[in-house]
Chains A and B, each alone.
Chain A
Amino acid sequence: MKISIVTTVILALGIAAGSLAQNIATTRNAAIDVELEPAKMARVDNSDIKRKRAYPMQPPTIPHKVDQYQVDLNANKCMSCHSRRRSQDSQAPMVSVTHYQDRDGNFLADISTRRYFCQQCHVTQDTVKPLLANEFVDIDEILRRDSE
């Protein structure tokens, strides 16, 4: 009995991996053992213009270059503009107040350690065409469809 469950799981995983591999092949445009010329490096959008969030809780994307920004135990380059203390001088938006809270909701003087690594959630955007079509639908669109 136990063995049959294990085999089923392995089989299911195998099928899943197979279909995944097919997807990769379509975006890769070549067999898996063929080494392609890498695509040209994309330009990071550095326009400094705020982008709309796709949904209210979305971490805002970064509208500028962050090359070589050091974020580690020693220094946090992002916070040298976006912290509460620095935001007046830099005129950069202060990070959300949730970033100054610990997991129990207590407010802290500095950014919470669990929010320290900015690029875990906030990312820059490249000026490229997406490889795959995005099927995301805005909530406003869903509400409009529902009301019809």
Chain B
Amino acid sequence: MIDLIRRYWRTISRPSKYFSLGFLTLGGFVMGIMFWGGFNTAMEFTNSETFCTSCHENLYEELQSTIHFTNRSGVRAICSSCHVPHDWTDKIARKMQASKEVWAFLMGTINTQEKFLARRRHLAENEWARLKANDSLECRNCHDFEYMDFTWQSTRASYQHSTALASGEKTCIDCHKGIAHRLPDMSGVEGWD
């Protein structure tokens, strides 16, 4: 094994015998673009609705009756809009975390609706915790507090947003749970009776 590594190291550390410097730099550059492009395209594919719904069809169905799917202005959210961070580094971190979910997929942890419903509270709690920790970043990617006009909100909404949300005491997910999905058993969840 060590011999093998040593042999490769010798090859890599020596100057090229047959290929010109131009070929190596240009080739490396082109290959780099292809690798990076391919990597990003593949990763973006795992962010697409087609990819998510190829398994989570039940959740897609739930989403369809909510305002994040259909509404007066036709702006809509797809799964990754809320479930995957938009910034590149955070996105990579989340995608690496998702390797655990690939394991769950292979093990069939929630491969039936019954199994899914039994585990739903746990799964929801993961997402609530994630959004609580990042101050509901994925909500705020679209719903920017700076640009909220309270005069267009209903009395209750503007009251809550100008007090609890403005002071940072609460974040979006504290009140807006289950806005794109059906809720699991909420007994014992703060703010729910």
Contacts and interface: CB of A to CB of B under 8 A. Distances in A.
Interface string A70-86: 10011110011001011
B6 interface: no
Contacts of B156: 48, 64
A66 to B, nearest CB: 12
Contacts of A83: 193
A95 B185 CA distance: 22
B137 to A, nearest CB: 23
A74 B184 contact: yes
Interface in A27-59: 46-48
A77 to B, nearest CB: 8
Specify the main secondary structure of chain A where it touches its partner.
loop
A68 interface: yes
B5 interface: no
A91 B66 CA distance: 27
Specify the main secondary structure of chain B where it touches its partner.
loop
B38 interface: no
Given A68-B67, A70-B183, A76 B178 contact: no
Given A68-B66, A74-B183, A48 B178 contact: no
Nearest to B182: A70
Contacts of B155: 47-48
Contacts of B191: 80, 86, 89
A64 B183 contact: no
B171 to A, nearest CB: 15
Range for the number of chain A residues in contact with chain B: 20 to 34
B89 interface: no
A74 B186 contact: yes
Contacts of A110: 193
Contacts of A79: 192-193
A111 interface: yes
Interface string B55-71: 00000000001110000
Given A46-B154, A48-B156, A68-B179, A76 B67 contact: no
Contacts of A46: 154
| In the complex, the 6 A-B pairs of residues with the closest C-beta atoms, listed nearest first | A75-B186, A83-B193, A75-B183, A48-B155, A79-B193, A74-B185
Interface of A: 46-48, 64-65, 67-68, 70, 73-76, 79-80, 83, 85-86, 89, 91, 110-111
5 contacts: A48-B156, A73-B185, A75-B183, A80-B191, A80-B193
Given A64-B154, A80-B193, 6 more contacts: A46-B154, A67-B67, A74-B183, A79-B193, A86-B193, A91-B159
